[in-house]
Copies of this chain bind each other. A is one copy, B any other.
Amino acid sequence: MKIAMLGSGFIARFYATSLHAQRRKDSIYTVYSRDENNVKRFAEDYQLPHYTTSMEEAINHPEVEVVLIALPNHLHEAAVVACAKARKHVLCTKPLGRTAAEAKRMLELVEEAGIFGGYLEDLCYTPKFLKSVASIREGSIGRVLWTRSREAHPGPHSDWFWDKEKSGGGAIIDLACHCVEISRNFIGKEIKPIEVMCWADTQVHPIEAEDHAIGLVKFANGAIGQFEVSWTFRGGMDLRDEVVGTEGSIWTNSFLRTGFEVFSSGKGGNYVAEKAETNKGWLFPVGDEAHELGYPHMFTDMFDAIENNRQPLETFYDGYIVNAILDAAFLSAKTKRWEPIVLDVWRGDETTNEKEASISHDDEYDLVKEEVLPNGDVKLILKNKITGTVIQKIK
């Protein structure tokens, strides 16, 4: 497919590098940026046939089949408006909006225009993540009880992201959007997120927005999706997920410990590992950063979905749900209590807590726990069905 890229900054370059690698058949046809120098350089670097400083021109170019929004957060909505008007399919970088209200308007725009709205949540497309979710769906770890998604690094690359007005917030809007959608996928997207408790603070930087936050999202089935996001982390980029289910656990590390370890005395003097803060001592590069972050698999799903007229794994609707959860998180950080998640649009289940019934051991007792002791004995912890008294017994 032929793509119009809106934006020419850090994330636009990351997308372009991923799209033009590995002999893929889709390609960027034109790029838009308001800055003449930047857009020209971008077009040269990626050998594009066209570039422009007019967003409308890029979107409306007859060769363009799909538009990729890689602009600062405060410019997403206007770009979606233009795409809807031009009836061009649109893929939007994360977060979708700065608020749920903004995201909802974008969702309505694409649905009313009948265009494709893909949400570029790359971390829900990393190969480890896709395999984890598939494995969970097959029952490998039972019912998911808790997830922890952590993304932390020393802060974003671009100036606009440090400006709350343009970005919509700090570490929460930048990073928790990933974590929240990760937890939704692990727990099940059909399960309704109910309420959020969030702590946020500006611990290190001279900015207004939060540079560190921790949140708990409670789902209708009792599962908890925990996010930990920070612009204060030292040591590279910490990108880890954990999931605990009734029958197992999953741990993934997508950046700092992926089976690639280098020690350098520093004499070579060269760049070894991404985001490493140093080129000396033990360093932990990744083999192929774009792959590890999910870009190739994400674009494959998006373009396949357009061609096959199906929904991608991540849609504008998902982007809206994420924004609604983040809205509640911001509010909770202020009110210091759990805040309900307001969802004007909800297309999943309306379930309540689906805890399993107790496991009956015999007429008198329920089973609390069964354990094999080092000596081979099997020990049972049992609870009297009526009195509630707990006893232990060797089987």
A residues within 8 Å of B by Cβ? 21-26, 126-132, 135, 138-142, 145-146, 148, 152, 154-155, 157-160, 162-163, 197, 199, 201, 203-208, 212, 214, 216, 218, 222, 224, 226, 228, 230, 232-236, 238, 244-254, 257-265, 267-272, 274, 277-288, 291, 296-297, 299-300, 303-304, 336-338, 355-356, 358-359, 366-369, 371, 374, 376, 379, 381, 383, 388-392
- Bound state CA distance, A265 and B234, in angstroms? 8
A270 to B141 Cα, complex, angstroms? 10
User: In the assembly, what is the distance between CA of A376 and CA of B300, in Å?
Assistant: 29
What chain B residues lie within 8 Å of A236 (beta carbons)?
263
Among B135, B286, B369, the residue within 8 A (CB) of A205 is B369
CA–CA, A267 and B226, complex, Å:
26
CA distance A288 to B163 in the complex (A): 37
Which residue of B21, B262, B381 is within 8 Å of A159 (Cβ)? B381
Q: How far is the CA of A308 from the CA of B393 in the complex (A)?
A: 39
Contact B368 A155 (CB under 8 A): yes
CB distance from A238 to the nearest CB of B (A): 8
Measured in the bound complex, the distance between the Cα atoms of B249 and A268 in whole Å is 12
Is there contact, CB below 8 Å, between A265 and B247? Answer: yes
The answer to whether B291 and A264 touch across the interface, beta carbons within 8 angstroms, is: no
Given A162-B368, A247-B268, A291-B291, A199-B212 contact (CB < 8 Å) = no
Cα(A278)–Cα(B281), bound, Å: 7
Q: A22-B24, A337-B338 are in contact. Are A159 and B390 (CB under 8 A)?
A: yes
Q: Contact check: which of B145, B204, B265, B366 meets A203 at CB < 8 Å?
A: B145
Shortest beta-carbon distance from A337 to chain B in Å: 4
Cβ–Cβ contact B278 & A280, under 8 A: yes
